[in-house]
Amino acid sequence: MAKDKKTEFKESKKIDFRDQIGKNKVNSVILVVVVFIVLLAIIFFIGRAFGADIFVMLILATIISIVYVLITYFNSAKIALASVKAQEADQVQHRELYNAVENMSIASGMPMPKVYVMPGDQINAFATGKDPQNSVVCVTEGALDKLNKQELEGVIGHEMSHVANYDIRFITIVAVVVGAISIFSQLFLRSLWFGGGRSSGDSDSGGNAIFLIVALVLAIIAPIIVKLVQLAISRRREYMADAGSVEFTRYPPGLIHALEKIKDDDGKINVPDAVAPMFFSDTVKRNLAELFQTHPNINKRIAALESM
């Protein structure tokens, strides 16, 4: 009887992957709202401190930022694949990989993405593309050599979950806002330096001084805050993709064992910093607090998967 109660208690602690996905979606939206609030606050206080002229500069800076990010977004697959020297997978040579992607495509109900392989003996992978109809999944040679069928499907399921959740689009929106905040802050701080700290509306110097001080504080701390929020959003999306992989594979141990192998993996890959956040796990092991990482701690990812 005691054994039955213990088993019952363990089962009651299990979290449905749907609940995990829903929770991470809500957390991601909350974090994005925080970023937008910071953006509105910095526009408001800088505008009140400097008047209409600064708004023209902010608008121009925003347009340039949006155009740059959109160009990158629509060409993200080409840029990412070229930067890591990936080659399209051969259906005969990479039959196991094709089967894994095919299985996950059927399980997810998504179109079959293009499949690529990149050099490097580290276990890793990434997905890109602006929507499921134009998606790409790329894995390292190390992943093909070191993962078995279930583990490979777990990793592929994670990457295809990113595509299904439109994570590239989501992260692009966040990048535009975070980039705009950084540009606004830099413009404001430089205008203070070159303009001698002069603000508009000298007749109300007391009121403007308050706005100027608040704007100055925001310009200094806002880029740091939104960068940390951006990293937190990235980690939330990784947890969500892990849960999505479980939804597709219905087999958490596959992804758990893949993550356990990654923990002990000493393989290397050559990846530009700009595309590193897209990968399944950190491409370089850094001794940094999780607060400053794009990916959650592997032990925490495993613990979350074991709770499903």
Owner of token pair 């994670």 = 158
Catalytic residues: 159
Taking only the tens place, the pLDDT of each residue in 171-180 is: 877 887 888 7
Helices of type H across the chain:
2-13, 17-50, 52-74, 76-83, 95-108, 141-146, 149-164, 167-195, 205-249, 252-263, 298-306
Measure the CA–CA gap between 25 and 41, rounded to whole angstroms: 24
* Confidence at residue 24, expressed as pLDDT on a 0 to 100 scale: 60
Assess contact for 152 and 104: CB atoms under 8 A.
no
Phi and psi at residue 289, to the nearest 5°: -65, 150
* Confidence at residue 97, expressed as pLDDT on a 0 to 100 scale: 96
Helix (H, G, I), strand (E, B) or coil at 140: strand
Mean pLDDT along residues 261-265: 94
**Average pLDDT value for the chain:** 83
Q: At what angle do helices 205-249 and 298-306 cross, to 10 degrees?
A: 50
Residue 78: name the closest of 130, 120, 141 by CA: 130
Percent pLDDT > 90 in the chain is 40
Q: Please, which pLDDT band fits residue 195 given cuts at 50, 70 and 90?
A: low
- Tokens standing for residue 60: 């121009």
Residue 304: name the closest of 231, 249, 241, 250 by CA: 241
Identify the residue with better confidence: 234 or 191: 234
Measure the CA–CA gap between 248 and 161, rounded to whole angstroms: 8
Q: Please, which pLDDT band fits residue 281 given cuts at 50, 70 and 90?
A: very high
* Confidence at residue 7, expressed as pLDDT on a 0 to 100 scale: 42
How far is residue 216 CA from its own chain's centroid? 29
Q: Please, which pLDDT band fits residue 2 given cuts at 50, 70 and 90?
A: very low
* Confidence at residue 50, expressed as pLDDT on a 0 to 100 scale: 66
Element containing residue 139 per DSSP (H, E):
strand 136-140
Identify the residue with better confidence: 19 or 225: 225
